[in-house]
């Protein structure tokens, strides 16, 4: 039982490049979330998926898109990376009926 | 006003002391409150959840909730150097059933020997 996994662990992009951050969970959780964490800002919600086939915007969705590929996987795409998207990205999942979110190890993204 | 605010840090306490971490929130309808611990370079991990007014104890940790004052706190008794981390207060906000968490900015705690 790996919990929540994220790939890659670290990525460097040039401004304008695109990439997809991958997240998968093996806990059969319905809800999944993408956050970004910047120094002194806590975690801010980018997008979430309450269940397979649904996605909704969070607090800071601009510049991102998401796909809930199936119940296990929830990906985050940056179509044209900007230096302001330099951050640590965390994926989380939550079981139906529970409120505890379980976090992946994070992806550190640097946009030059 | 931020939806969830934590007391500004960093907080430094000697080993064996009580560390007190505070958090206020703006959504009066919030019902669920969490404290996460985050070691440097790691992901947040849940250490306490609280849903009712009063105190909830778990080992050296005590969470306190006062919904009238919109205030939640975390006390760490007999602080250890291994407690040195960033502590994040999180609140389920927005009145949805989707469990959206709003986080405070975090308080860095350092426990020195």
Supply φ then ψ for residue A101, to 5 degrees: -105, 140
**Using the beta-carbon criterion (under 8 Å), do A99 and B32 form an inter-chain contact?**
yes
Q: Is the per-residue pLDDT at B94 higher than 70?
A: no
**In this prediction, what percent of chain B has a pLDDT beyond 70?**
93
Nearest-by-Cβ selection for B88 from A42, A48, A58: A42
What are the tens digits of pLDDT across the range B35-49?
999 999 999 999 999
How far is it, in rounded angstroms, from Cα A90 to Cα A34?
6
- Lowest mean per-residue pLDDT among A2-11, A24-33, A41-50, B2-11: B2-11
**Using the beta-carbon criterion (under 8 Å), do B100 and A48 form an inter-chain contact?**
yes
- Is residue A112 packed enough to be buried (19+ CB in 10 Å), middle (13-18) or exposed (0-12)? exposed
Mean pLDDT for the stretch of residues B30-34: 91
What residues are paired with B95 via a beta bridge?
Answer: none
The DSSP code for A26 is S
According to the model, what pLDDT value does residue A17 have?
97
Alpha-carbon distances, residue B2 vs A31, A81, B16, B21, B76 (angstroms)? 25, 27, 33, 17, 25
Collect all residues of chain A within an 8 Å Cβ-Cβ radius of residue B98. 31, 48, 50, 56
According to the model, what pLDDT value does residue B96 have?
55
According to the model, what pLDDT value does residue B77 have?
97
Q: How far is B29 from chain A (nearest CA, A)?
A: 16
Residue to mutate among B2, B24, B92, B101, with most A CBs inside 10 A, is B101
Three-class DSSP category at B27:
coil
The reply to whether omega before B10 is within 30° of 0 (cis) is: yes
Look at residues A43, A32, A91 and name the one whose alpha carbon lies nearest to residue B103: A43
């Amino acid at each position: 039982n790996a919990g929540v996994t994220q790939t890659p662990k670290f990525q460097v992009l040039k401004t304008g490049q695109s990439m997809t951050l991958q997240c998968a969970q093996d806990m059969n959780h319905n809800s999944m979330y993408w956050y970004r964490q910047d120094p002194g800002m806590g975690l801010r919600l980018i997008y979430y998926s309450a269940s397979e086939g649904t996605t909704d915007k969070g607090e800071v969705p601009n510049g991102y898109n998401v796909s809930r590929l199936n119940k296990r996987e929830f990906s985050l795409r940056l179509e044209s990376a900007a230096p302001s998207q330099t951050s640590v990205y965390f994926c989380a999942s939550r079981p139906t009926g529970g409120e505890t979110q379980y976090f992946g190890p994070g992806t550190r993204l640097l946009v030059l | 006003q931020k939806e969830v605010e934590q007391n500004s840090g960093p907080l430094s306490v000697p080993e064996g002391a009580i560390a007190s971490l505070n958090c206020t929130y703006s959504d009066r309808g919030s019902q669920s409150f969490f404290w996460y611990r985050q070691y440097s370079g790691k992901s947040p991990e849940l250490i306490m959840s609280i849903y009712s007014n009063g105190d909830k104890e778990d080992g050296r940790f005590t969470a306190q909730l006062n919904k009238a004052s919109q205030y939640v706190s975390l006390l760490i008794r007999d602080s250890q150097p291994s407690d040195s981390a960033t502590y994040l207060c999180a609140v389920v906000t927005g009145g949805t059933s989707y469990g959206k968490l709003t986080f405070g900015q975090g308080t860095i705690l350092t426990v020195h020997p």
